[in-house]
Structure 1
Amino acid sequence: MTIQILADSACDLSQEDLTTFQIDSIPLTVQLKESNYEDGKTISAKTVYDAMRDGESPKTSQVSPSAFQTLFELYAKKNTPCLYLAFSSELSGTYQSAKIAEKEVKENYPNWELTIIDTKCASIGYGLVVIRAAELAKQGASMEEIKQVSNYHATHMEHIFTVDDLEYLYRGGRVSKSAAFVGTLLKIKPLLHVEDGKLIPLEKIRGSKKVWKRMLDIMEERGEDLKNQRIGISHGDVYETATQLAEMIREKFEVKDIKINMIGSSIGAHAGPGTIALFFLNDTYE
């Protein structure tokens, strides 16, 4: 029996991706102008970025246990085995909501097979883990094999990103007001990464061109078997910049497979327009 791969909207996969790889994704909630929307379903990332450029400060909330319960019961009733790969528990309570719902559903469907994995990943870094799991599921791999490969990809997924305006990180509590002001004044571009699921400042660089070069340097330092990987780039409504970075990566590392997606509303609401994020494995591709 084919295993159904589940994800949430923080994986930043497009509807085309979800359809192609037969992934079922549940949306986080985006709050904008006192109204609630479903990330990627009833509000687009573009709408959120435009609102932020106009001075709005959208907020987000995790997927609720009741929403997960509804999703899980859909598959439990059909006895379809499922693997839910979750957005990092260090950045959202969505994973915890899923665990609460799992307990409730298992009381009525004790024999239903559900595995939940905290990927400790975000955006397309998370999305790449989900896609690899979905590929294996379509090939008829066992739950144990998919779990093993998913955990491997999640553990070895590097997240390197920069934001266009420190003001958005200030609003999200990531930097102080003075740091945001000084950084913007001096055109300082912060480089950040994800470590054990948490957002961690990495370096401060002055000037955009130096940032792109440094991102590639870090990729060279940390990456492994880059030529044979699927590399991920996500962007905050700056597709042209993302494609330029992709071309630099192709030239430097002879990478053939680069996936470029827009950062969705749930993550974009905190990172802001202009964000560029780069994802790759620091170990051999499996």
Structure 2
Amino acid sequence: MSVVVVTDSSCCLDPKMAERYDIRIVPLHVISDGRDYREGIDELPEDLSGATTSGPSPAELLEVYTRAFDDSDGDGVVAVHLSRLLSGTWEAAKNAADSFGDRVRLIDSQNTAMGLGFAALEAARAAESGADLDDVYSRAVEVAASGRTLLVVDRLDHLRRGGRIGTATALLGTALAMKPVLHLVDGKLVLREKTRTMTKAMAKLVDGVVAEAGRTPLLAVHHRGAPERAQLLVEQLAERIPDAAELLTCEIDGVLGAHVGPGAIGIVVARR
């Protein structure tokens, strides 16, 4: 067999792509109207405006790690998860991985969405090519470290309620009627710059990604119920970064959708 890669459902990986590279995805949870839904497994309500979210339990992670380790025939597991500053998944993962020693390697991607997904994907491609545990782990670390995520949301109150941004930033977008461009820094979502309109904010997203891209980058455009905005960004990125190794479009669902709200748009860039 070969090293098996595990991640969580915040990665936004297309299920067919995950299946193609045998990436195991642990579901995060959405709690809506008193019911617990597993992202990627259960059908979620369309309206998640009042939903809360939670990470997988240590028992859930242990079950996935155990199966992955067995399927690797002892070659080992690389588990790359969303930022520990955004979720309790990391602590649960440490508890679950303790019994495996160094045969289950954990990585805090300090990211989410395809900032996490690209790290898992490139690690799985390395594993498929025959790389050993050390090399697969190093590949995931390198791609995760290169990931940059930029985001604009229609309303900041979803992020504020979930504790993902501070009250001051939330007020900036509501009381002052601005569209702040946010980004992840060291695993935490913070203000990048201020804009007045969604059009200007989207232009800043593209400019920011172009500045970070380097050669043959990995790109993903994310949206929450805003396919027209996403298509516009895809067209602009294709024109300005024609040598991109990948340019994916991924709709935000479930856990991330509950936090960013309808109309959110974002871009992830990483380096292969």
Regarding TM over 0.5, the answer is yes
Matched, 1:190 2:180: yes
Structure 2 unaligned segments of length 5 or more: list them: none
Q: When the two structures are aligned, how many residues end up with a matched partner?
A: 268
Distance 1:66 1:185 in 2: 43
1:1-286 correspondence to structure 2 within 5 Å: 1-44=1-44, 47=45, 50-52=46-48, 56-78=49-71, 79-80=73-74, 81-103=76-98, 105-106=99-100, 113-173=103-163, 174-176=165-167, 180=170, 183-184=173-174, 186-225=176-215, 228-256=216-244, 257-281=246-270, 285-286=271-272
Greater relative contact order structure (CA < 8 Å, 6+ sep):
1
Shift of 1:185: 6.1
Q: Determine if contact 1:85/1:117 at 8 Å carries over to the other structure.
A: yes
Shift of 1:43: 2.9
Shift of 1:180: 4.5
Structure 1 unaligned segments of length 5 or more: list them: none
Quickly say closer, same or farther: Cα 1:151–1:180, change in 2 above 3 A: closer
Give 3-state SS (helix, strand or coil) of 2:180's partner.
strand
Give RMSD over aligned pairs: 2.0
Q: Deviations over 1:81-130 (max 9, x none)?
A: 21111111111111111110112x43xxx6x8211111111011111111
Shift of 1:179: 6.3
Instruction: Tell me the TM-score normalized by structure 2.
Output: 0.91
Give 3-state SS (helix, strand or coil) of 1:95's partner.
helix
Distance 1:193 1:10 in 2: 16
Distance 2:9 2:141 in 1: 19
Instruction: Tell me the TM-score normalized by structure 1.
Output: 0.87
User: Counterpart of 2:79 in structure 1: which amino acid?
Assistant: Y
Q: Deviations over 1:192-245 (max 9, x none)?
A: 1111111111112111111121112212323211xx122111111212211110
